[in-house]
Amino acid sequence: MQPALAAPLDAPPPLSPWQRLHQRLMPDYNRKATAYWWSVVLLGAAVLAFSVHQLAAMAMATWLQVIVASVLAMVAGLVPVRIPRTNNSFTAGEIFIFLLLLLSGPEAAAVASACEALVGSWRTSKRWTSRIASPAMAALAMFSAGSLLQAALQTLQRHGLAHDGLLLLGAILFALGYFLLNTLLVTMVPRLKRNEPLNLRVFVDSFGWLGIAYAGNASVASFLYFSFRQSGIVVVVAAVPIIVILLTTGHWFFRREEAEEAVRKAREQQAAQRQLLENARHAGMAEIATNVLHNVGNVLNSVNVSTELIATRVRESEAAGLARAVQLIEQNNDRLGEYLTNDARGRMLPLYLKQLAQALEEERAAIAAELEALTKNVRHIKQIVTTQQAYAGASSLVEPVQIVELIEDALRIDNGALAGRDVALVREFEAVPSLLLDKHRVLLILVNLIANARHAMQRLPEAAHRLTLRVQVADERTLQVIVADTGEGIAAEHLTKIFAHGFTTKKDGHGFGLHSCVLAAREMGGKLCADSAGPGHGATFTLELPLELQPS
């Protein structure tokens, strides 16, 4: 019999039912938000249970009022009226709920308010946390504000101060209190999740019009209540279809306004996107031109050194000694044999000429070497400029391209900056035939990615770095060009916004390069993505392009 295998020491303990429920319902909730949510839900459930218990002892007419008002509120919740220039909306349901409050008390209104909130949350949210909490919050807010209104009206009645004007004022104040309490209860959850304090100015700017709408609904409910006391239920029944028609008309009117506004914003966004793309294209071309000028400048430094060395050699040339030797020979031309044989200076002249010949040969070799280096550097400048000119005026045309040659062009543009640095260049190229690509856009992307990799590695100068360029066919429809570096890496929170317009982690960066690259890749039907294990672990950028072979 074999012994049972022990569980790994580092295996996480099994989750309790409570923890599984938390992960399923509220994975993004912190401790404060979770405690608040459960507190409000349990308190709201207690309010609803108490309200139902109180209603159970009331007459059937009261129950009929609660059912009718709740149904009307739920139906009205399906056709909200959007408040212009805001993200908020209101429904006619509050009119029937406020009227129910005046007729039957806060318990009845709390039940109806929970029913309306259930419909609203089901319509606007897919999260069960919202669908559960919204009715509880609405019942809690309605019961609290309604109880205060009921207590205030009873106090006025005991002192003989009951008046319709005071009732209307009290209903408006109640509506504002209900709106304030309910809105605070609802907005507390996201603020607790983000650990944000309440900003009163932002709160008023966001929900001020909604409070006015609640006050208007309370006013309508009050007038319906006054009419009910004088003429009975007939006036209320007659007013219901009028209210429904008016609010339905308002709903569809504002829906049409929203649709027109959405179309207008879409057009403005498209125009802005086109302008942004054009700006990004110019910025990308400026990036290429900057790299070209930088690399030409590096080569010109070498050209300047070579020309200075050649000029110095020419100024200090030993050719002047040859001229002096020739002058001595001319001065003693009539007795040259005697001069070279018997004269002390003449006897030294052949040895001097021999040494001079050696010095001139060394001088010639040095100048020739510098001229060769100068010629090579000038040819390098011409090659960089020629490569740039080949793409500077290119339009968005798809043409047969060898992707490896395009990568070599990008390296040639950035080669001056890579030269002389401790960077190992690794090429991993699969055999890929000619492809139909937009040469200008692909080059723009490659130059940006190589330059960014170089900058990332320069920020960690103490390490020996490696730049890997890989070309591979991911599947029968996708070509991948991968640029991987061993530089400073990318933080996890930056991976989601590194391609955003204007975002940069460089002190002197402008945030155009990668944004223009991702737009260019998207225009070609491809995509550009980034991956990094974190700071200090390098980064990998993958360009995916449609694999369109050149027709044979």
Domain boundary among 373, 392, 411: 392
What are residue 355's phi and psi, to 5 degrees? -65, -40
- Which uninterrupted H or E stretch holds 162? none
Residues 455 and 503 grouped into a single domain:
yes
Per-residue HEC secondary structure of 226-249 comes to HHHHHHCHHHHHHHHHHHHHHHHH
Would you say residue 176 lies in a domain? yes
Residue 103 contacts residue 65 (beta carbons within 8 Å): yes
Do 325 and 402 reside in the same domain of the chain? Answer: no
Same domain, 482 and 524: yes
Exposed/middle/buried for residue 368 (C-beta within 10 Å: 0-12, 13-18, 19+): exposed
Between CA 372 and CA 365 the distance in angstroms is 10
Tabulate helix, strand, coil % of the chain (nearest 5): 70, 10, 20
Query: Domain total for the chain?
Result: 3
Q: What are 539's strand-pairing partners?
A: 485
Q: Output the CA angle 291-297-301, nearest 5 degrees.
A: 150
226/117 same-domain check: yes
Q: How far is CA 370 from CA 309, 313, 367, 373, 523, in A?
A: 8, 10, 5, 5, 48
Report residue 509 CA to chain centroid gap.
17
Find out whether 406 and 446 touch, Cβ atoms under 8 Å: yes
Is the residue at 125 inside a domain? yes
The reply to whether 342 and 456 lie within a common domain is: no
Cα–Cα separations (whole angstroms), residue 360 to 309, 320, 366: 16, 11, 10
Give residue 5's pLDDT.
42
* CA gyration radius, the chain: 42
Residue 237 included in any domain: no
Asked if 182 and 52 sit in the same domain, the reply is: yes
Question: By the 8 A CB rule, do 110 and 47 touch?
Answer: yes
| Structure confidence at residue 482 (pLDDT) | 93
What token pair was written down for 244?
């429904």
522 within 8 A of 532, measured Cβ to Cβ: no
Phi and psi for 455 in degrees, rounded to 5?
Answer: -60, -40
Same-domain pairing of 323 and 361: yes
Same-domain check for residues 415 and 484 = yes
- Distance, CA of 114 to CA of 135 (rounded, Å): 4
Amino acid at 390: A
Domain limit, last residue, from 338, 361, 392: 392
**The tokens 């190992």 sit on which residue?**
424
Residue 221 covered by a domain: yes
Distance (Å, rounded) from C-alpha 290 to C-alpha 232?
83
Say yes or no: 359 and 213 in one domain.
no
Burial of 53: CB neighbours in 10 Å, binned 0-12, 13-18, 19+: exposed
Residue 551 pLDDT: 64
Instruction: Give me the count of residues in the chain.
Output: 552
Q: What is the CATH number of the domain that holds 216?
A: 1.10.1760.20
60 contacts: CB under 8 Å, gap ≥ 6: none
Listed in sequence order, the residues at least 6 apart from 180 whose beta carbon sits closer than 8 Å to its beta carbon are 211
- Residue 13, domain member (yes or no): no
Answer yes or no: is 100 within a domain: yes
> Does residue 118 share a domain with residue 101?
yes
Q: Which amino acid is at 269?
A: Q
Q: Are strands 81-82 and 398-401 parallel, antiparallel or unpaired?
A: unpaired
Three-state DSSP at 328 gives helix
Shared-domain flag, residues 454 and 365: no
pLDDT tens, the chain, 552 aa long = 444 444 444 555 666 776 677 677 777 788 888 888 889 999 999 999 998 888 888 888 778 878 887 887 787 767 666 655 555 565 667 777 888 888 888 888 888 888 888 888 887 788 888 888 888 898 898 899 888 988 888 888 888 887 778 888 888 888 888 888 888 888 888 888 888 887 777 777 777 777 787 787 788 878 777 777 776 665 566 566 666 666 666 556 666 766 777 788 888 888 887 787 777 667 666 666 665 666 566 567 667 877 888 888 788 777 777 777 778 777 777 777 777 777 777 778 788 778 878 888 888 888 888 888 778 777 767 766 766 666 555 556 678 888 898 888 778 766 545 555 678 889 999 888 888 888 877 887 888 888 888 888 888 777 778 899 999 988 888 889 999 998 888 888 888 788 886 677 666 665 667 877 888 888 888 899 999 888 888 899 999 988 876 665
CATH classification of the domain holding 532? 3.30.565.10
Written as one letter, the residue type at 242 is I
- Phi, psi for residue 450 in degrees, rounded to 5: -65, -40
> Is 275 part of any domain?
no
**Residue 7 domain-assigned?**
no
Beta strands in 330-402 (DSSP E): 398-401
Q: Note whether 448 and 344 are same-domain residues.
A: no
Domain that holds residue 417: 398-546
Neighbours of 89 (CB within 10 A): 16
DSSP secondary structure code for residue 159 in this structure? T
Domain boundary among 392, 427, 447: 392
User: How many H helices and E strands in the chain?
Assistant: 16, 9
348, two tokens: 């030294």
Task: Give residue 483's pLDDT.
Answer: 93
DSSP label at residue 4: P
Residue 246 β-bridge partners: none
Task: List alpha helices for 57-199, DSSP H.
Answer: 60-76, 93-104, 106-124, 128-158, 164-194
| Beta strands across the sheet bearing 423-429 | 423-429, 465-475, 478-485, 539-546, 527-531
d(CA 478, CA 525): 10
